């Protein structure tokens, strides 16, 4: 499963990229608006940091012609860019037109298997079901993911399933078990994936024991215990 960060924050992208396990990022108009930087400059800097990783950038038009125009523009900025298009009838038309021009799209704001089926039929490169937002209204986000993965398998659709709106590590692990191609997550959730109290406790014991025995160990390395985010 590929790991994307769901952020437009360049510090988070930089920090995430340093681990060497990041495959890309997803952004949306809300995330970009928070950063207070020119859109193009921000997206291009993300492409530079991610060195070949995928950068998802979203259109804001809601008519087909506008989405296609924006999609062409976004895709022309850098080969790493995938164009996010909202799941609207006009968006599905735009996805098909952009696909025919070789432009990769990500159909976003997907909340039903029927919408995901249409996205795949139109030739989307990614489809983004929003799990957390369904959970927020007491519907089963992971259930939706399971249905989409099942349908895509039945028909060998090439569209990759990008599990989005993930809020905690269990979402990520369940998405992996279901077989999502990609999970996108906030930086905070990415950090949580590293953690286990038994790892911390085990390491503490190892280092204490090492320090107690150091006299008898001869030439030893000074122990350090760097942690994510520190």
For residue 159, the minimal CB distance to ligand G3P (Å) is 16
- Do the Cβ atoms of 73 and 94 come closer than 8 Å? no
**Is 64 or 108 the residue whose CB approaches ligand G3P more closely?**
108
How far is the C-alpha of 13 from the C-alpha of 61, rounded, in Å?
Answer: 26
For residue 225, the minimal CB distance to ligand G3P (Å) is 32
How far is the C-alpha of 151 from the C-alpha of 116, rounded, in Å?
Answer: 9
Considering the candidates 2, 34, 84, 121, report the single residue annotated as catalytic.
84
How far is the C-alpha of 194 from the C-alpha of 170, rounded, in Å?
Answer: 13
For residue 136, the minimal CB distance to ligand G3P (Å) is 8
**Is 97 or 134 the residue whose CB approaches ligand G3P more closely?**
134
Residue with tokens 């929003």: 130
**Is 27 or 97 the residue whose CB approaches ligand G3P more closely?**
27
Residues near ligand G3P (CB under 6 A):
6, 26, 28, 130, 132-133, 164-165, 184
**Is 130 or 152 the residue whose CB approaches ligand G3P more closely?**
130
For residue 82, the minimal CB distance to ligand G3P (Å) is 12
**Is 159 or 184 the residue whose CB approaches ligand G3P more closely?**
184
How far is the C-alpha of 110 from the C-alpha of 205, rounded, in Å?
Answer: 47
Residue with tokens 């990783």: 53
Helix axes 39-50, 64-77, angle to 10 degrees: 50
For residue 20 the two structure tokens come to: 């060497």
CA angle 52, 54, 56 (to 5 degrees): 145
Is 84 considered catalytic here? yes
State whether residue 7 is helix, strand or coil: coil
For residue 204, the minimal CB distance to ligand G3P (Å) is 34
How far is the C-alpha of 214 from the C-alpha of 17, rounded, in Å?
Answer: 36
CA angle 202, 208, 214 (to 5 degrees): 135
Report the residue number whose CB is nearest to ligand G3P.
165
Which residues are known catalytic residues? 84
């Amino acid at each position: 499963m590929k790991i994307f960060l769901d952020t437009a924050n360049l510090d988070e992208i930089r920090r995430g990229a340093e681990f060497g396990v990041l495959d890309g990022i997803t952004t949306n108009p809300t995330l970009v608006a928070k950063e207070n930087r020119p859109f193009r400059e921000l997206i291009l800097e993300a492409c530079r940091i991610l060195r070949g990783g995928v950068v998802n950038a979203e259109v804001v038009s809601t008519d087909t012609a506008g989405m296609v125009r924006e999609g062409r523009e976004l895709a022309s900025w850098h080969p790493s860019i995938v164009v996010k298009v909202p799941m609207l009838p006009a968006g599905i038309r735009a996805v098909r037109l952009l696909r025919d021009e070789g432009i990769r799209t990500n159909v976003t704001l997907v909340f039903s298997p029927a919408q995901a089926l249409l996205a795949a039929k139109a030739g989307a490169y990614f489809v983004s079901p929003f799990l957390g937002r369904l959970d927020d209204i007491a519907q089963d986000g992971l259930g939706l993911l399971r249905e989409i993965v099942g349908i895509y398998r039945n028909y060998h659709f090439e569209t990759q399933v990008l599990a989005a709106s993930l809020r905690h590590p269990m979402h990520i692990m369940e998405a992996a078990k279901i077989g999502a191609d990609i999970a996108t997550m906030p930086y905070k959730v990415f950090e949580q994936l590293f953690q286990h109290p038994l790892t911390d406790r085990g390491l503490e014991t190892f280092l204490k024991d090492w320090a107690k025995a150091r006299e008898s160990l001869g030439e030893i390395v000074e122990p350090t215990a760097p942690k994510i985010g520190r």
